[in-house]
Amino acid sequence: MEQNLRLAHFSDVHLDKDTVSSDLMRNTFDNLLKEVLAHNPSLLLIAGDLFDSNEASDDTIKWVMEKLSNLFIPVVMIPGNHDCLEEGSVYYRYDFNLVPNVDFLFQEDGSLIYIASIEVSVWGKGIKKHDKSFRPLKHCPARPKNSKWYVGLGHGLFIDDESQVHRASPILIEDIDNCDCDYLALGHHHAAVNLQSASTTAVYSGSPTDDIGGGATYVVADLTQYKKPDVKIFTL
């Protein structure tokens, strides 16, 4: 019998964006969570920029933490360039790891956690400074031996040739290839893109609050052992 894992993935929500009303953003986030949960995923990945800046209000941060705590599935998240780990970061003001079902990955050299209930290891890095020296997927660890599934998160810009490595937080195809993950959840690019390398599936979910890529989007992926993930991009 085939063993499967369904995960949901979004990024770049940009809560508390100055140009959009708080009520509208909260309603969109509420609707996003409802739609995501309707797919019955076993894991939710948030690949950065949940907040538009580190000036997000205390009220919004606490509201989001409560919303995530009400989910019945594990949530793993990383910071983005907008809500990076600079002084005064959202994530220094409030510890998301205090939310029982949330793992916030914040170490600059990478954090690796294991979720025993679904036999998944998840790796990701925290962004402190969004510049060319930060490589979101560089030095991804080898697949943990005790895990049925291995997924990674990264927030940065995909570069299709090395002449562009001066860009901030670059992701190269070699970085993707060197990640021995079943699925890489990417954030930063607001249009959804499925980057299938020779060995690894890496997906930008796009943004659920921006229609730059032809719609406000999120991703649901079905992982089956010994097969490529079945990736579906949904529009809100």
Is residue 3 very low, low, confident or very high in pLDDT (cuts 50, 70, 90)? confident
* CB-count exposure of residue 71 (10 Å: 0-12, 13-18, 19+): middle
CATH of residue 185: 3.60.21.10
The backbone region for 41, taken as left when phi is positive above 0, alpha when psi lies in -120 to 50, beta otherwise, is beta
Is residue 2 very low, low, confident or very high in pLDDT (cuts 50, 70, 90)? very low
CA distances from 166 to 80, 126, 160 (A): 18, 20, 13
As a whole number, mean pLDDT of residues 75-98 equals 97
* CB-count exposure of residue 13 (10 Å: 0-12, 13-18, 19+): buried
pLDDT at 162: 67
Q: How far apart are CA 181 and CA 204, in angstroms?
A: 15
The pTM is what?
A: 0.96
**113 — phi, psi (to 5°)?**
-125, 160
Read off the tokens for 132.
């060319």
As a whole number, mean pLDDT of residues 115-126 equals 96
Please say if the pLDDT value at position 166 is more than 80: no
Of 3-12, 131-140, 156-165, least confident by mean pLDDT is 156-165
Q: Indicate the helix (H) or strand (E) that contains 230.
A: strand 230-235
CA distances from 9 to 40, 88, 141, 205 (A): 13, 27, 21, 7
Provide the mean pLDDT of the chain: 94
As a whole number, mean pLDDT of residues 224-230 equals 92
List alpha helices for 45-180, DSSP H.
58-69, 90-93, 173-177
Is residue 211 very low, low, confident or very high in pLDDT (cuts 50, 70, 90)? confident
As a whole number, mean pLDDT of residues 86-106 equals 97
Domain containing 194 equals 4-235
Decide: helix, strand or coil at residue 26: helix
Is residue 133 very low, low, confident or very high in pLDDT (cuts 50, 70, 90)? confident
Please say if the pLDDT value at position 1 is more than 60: no
Decide: helix, strand or coil at residue 153: strand
What's the pLDDT tens digit per position in 28-66? 999 999 999 999 999 999 999 999 999 999 999 999 999
Is residue 163 very low, low, confident or very high in pLDDT (cuts 50, 70, 90)? low
Number of domain units in the chain: 1
Of all residues in the chain, what percent carry a pLDDT higher than 70? Answer: 97
pLDDT at 160: 83
212 vs 37, more confident: 37
